[in-house]
Amino acid sequence: MYFVKVSWGWTFLCLLPFIALTSYVATRSLGTVFRRLGALLVGSMIWFTCTKFFILIENATGTCYNSSALLDIRPGFTDKRSCISSGGFWDGFDISGHSFLLPYCTLMILEEAAVAHFVRFEKSWQKHLINFLTLSLAFLIFVWIFMFFCTSIYFHDFSQKLLGTSFGILGWYVTYKQWYLMPYSPGLPLRSANKEGKRGYNK
């Protein structure tokens, strides 16, 4: 499951050149490129904030035990890391980070990758690169969905998975369906051609 733990890193790595290339080809504006890349910065902030919040909740609600039987409390430990490093077993409310991150990454990729249908690439190297990046993103979506189902079946209890998934969907909704519609934001990716056949970015 280590690959899933760094899922945001893989998503970031593939989306960075994809957003940069499609934004520049569509608008020929470096300002638009940097503005759109801001979506990755926002995504990183959401990932960091939520994971830290999940750790805070687990530490605040947990207790250190001598074993997984949860019979004998091991006093003097207030966080999971110190408990486990001393050989104990920490039992707290562990909101599923996988259930949060995998849907969030998948939804973000779907939002950003849709632009490939509306941008015209005139140079062959651009076409080859965007095809490679699109296939890479499609592969990531497949892996993230598969691992999400594995997490749903084998890890955490229902409430922990439900909360994690809710945070992931909420992060996507607040950004792509609310904030990115506003002027002072990274903005939405290209969606469709207008009636005159010109291609532009949603404001």
Q: Could you tell me how many residues make up the chain? A: 203
Q: Which residues fall within 8 angstroms of residue 116, CB to CB, at 6 or more apart? A: 22, 130, 134
What one-letter code names the amino acid at 157?
D
98 is catalytic: yes
156 is catalytic: yes
State the Cα–Cα distance between residues 178 and 70, nearest whole angstrom.
Answer: 44
Q: Concatenate the DSSP letters of all residues of 91-109 into one string.
A: E-----HHHHHHHHHHHHH
Catalytic residue, chosen from 10, 18, 94, 98, is: 98
Catalytic residue, chosen from 54, 104, 111, 156, is: 156
Q: Is 97 left (phi over 0), alpha (psi -120 to 50) or beta?
A: alpha
Cβ–Cβ under 8 Å, residues 110 and 176: no
User: Catalytic residues, which ones?
Assistant: 98, 156
